[in-house]
Amino acid sequence: MQAGTGSHGLQADIAQAYALMERGALADAEAACQRALAATNGSSADAWAALGVVLREQGRPQESEAAYKRALAVAPQHALAHHNLGALLSYLDRAEEALASLERARSLGLNAAELHINRGRALAQLYRIEEAERAYAQAVALQPRNTDAQSNLAALRYMCGDPHFVRDFAAAARQYPADVGLQYAYTEVLRRSGNLPAAEGVLRTLLAGSGGAIPEIRSSLATLLHEMGRLAEAENEALTAAMSRPQNPRLIENLVGVVLARCKPDAALPFIRTERRNRPQDPRWVTYEAMAARLMGDPLYGRLYDYDRLVRVYELQPPAGWQSMEQLNAALSQTLRGRHRFASHPLDQSLRNGSQTARNLLAEADPAIQAIIAAFAGPIESYCAVLGANPDHPLSALNTGAARLHGCWSIELRRDGFHVNHFHNEGWLSSAYYVSVPEEVADTQGRSGWLKFGEPRLPVPGLDADHFVQPQPGRLVLFPSYMWHGTNAIRGTRTRLTVAFDAVPAPPH
């Protein structure tokens, strides 16, 4: 019997599609799904569901959604298709729809850890925080070694201010000491929450148990040692890891960061230039190229960090339907403060002593949020027009004349709140819009709460902040995503409320 001509052939094609997808052969996986659909005249819900998975892996979410819905049109009781559709909708920040699909999958008898992880994510996006915690805890109970479940549960509890946020993860790590993936994920949570000595202990135990044969573990130890200021040790670990897997950009990035921190740009440049050639649209390598140029006194730094041209400040005008920016900011403040319900910052973000909204603001229907997003369009268009399209500059080389928002969120910084210096590796343009600021930002000497540029996350001698922007309500700042940026801490009791987004070049018509 030929593949796709009967139930056995149909299942073989579907199984082959999943196997090809696991190997990264996504085009071949899609072809296997299409064969199965052609053989059944589109009547196989399993084939449509498999196609939905493959399309999502290819970064084609709209087509993936359509495939899942075709599966459900064929078989309305298909629990896996309901689940996968819900997971996709949560990824797209369509939380209400996502939760409905996930609850439908659960009502049909699905009770897998992945279901509860996705339910937890959707519930958190809807700020149903206690329910989200219970969902993640259900996932952990079903699969205590599931690192996504454990990481999400620990992260949510951390943001809620739970002092024992890592308890379930710690229990699983004790119970399964030989599970390298679990132990590695556990160290990431420990490191991000600031418990560096405990993270180092677990990493060294892992290295000893593997005979030092896992480069990713060694590279993570290098990151940890770098954060602890033990740079010579960090460089040794990072170099050993990178030489074991020289094609792995993450391991190379860790090595470059340590080498630059030791003021050895000549040693870093060969790696940076290789990655710039291999990944010309990845902003992180522009970041490191600029750092090396600055350390060497190379004029390239001035071209990449041309603050007068590339950091632009706009005083927004009220969009249609709003009498003034003061009126819009007042409405925004009321709306956004209702969404800042967490006691602490996310573990994987740059802010400290503050909170971040849980849901992409692009998915919010609130009139004030939609109005401020609309108000960003004019400045972005102006920025693109002024930037030009010089192919020799990594920012303007990607300028298509228009940009679309890639993500949008709000930050509330409280007393002693600040942003750790960082850059945005998934953006092209980044931003800060000030909804409300404390009075202390008016002090031009102290520069409390000011946006700063040029200073890396971890200290590098000679690379201090070399440009500042004063926050003001109604002010939007646009700048390249590859620029190091952070903020000085707020010292008083009044909070600072902002909206930020990343933008990427819009495809040309």
pLDDT computed for residue 104 by the predictor: 98
| C-alpha span between 318 and 165 (Å, rounded) | 43
CA dist 329 and 434 (Å) reads 9
Q: Which fold has domain 308-505?
A: Jelly Rolls (2.60.120)
Cα–Cα dist 184/302, whole Å: 39
pLDDT for the residue 285: 97
pLDDT at 10: 82
The continuous run of DSSP H or E covering 314 comes out as strand 312-315
Residue 365 to residue 443: CA distance in whole angstroms: 37
Distances (CA, A) of 322 to 328, 329, 335, 371, 436: 6, 10, 16, 8, 17
Tell which residue, 338, 340, 364, has the closest CA to residue 351.
340
Residues (pLDDT < 70) of the chain are 1-8, 509
The backbone torsions φ and ψ at residue 75, rounded to the nearest 5 degrees and listed phi first, read -140, 90
- Closest to 418 measured CA to CA, from 315, 481, 345: 345
What's the one-letter identity of residue 445? Q
Look at the block and give the residue holding tokens 């400290």: 352
Residues 6+ apart with CB under 8 A from 461: 263
- What is the C-alpha to C-alpha distance for residues 363 and 409, in angstroms, rounded to an integer? 10
pLDDT at residue 7, rounded to an integer:
62
Give phi and psi for 347, each to the nearest 5.
Answer: -70, -25
Q: Model's pTM, two decimal places?
A: 0.93
Packing angle of the helix pair 45-57, 61-74 (nearest 10 deg): 170
Query: Dihedral of the CA atoms 98, 192, 267, 207 (nearest 10)?
Result: -100
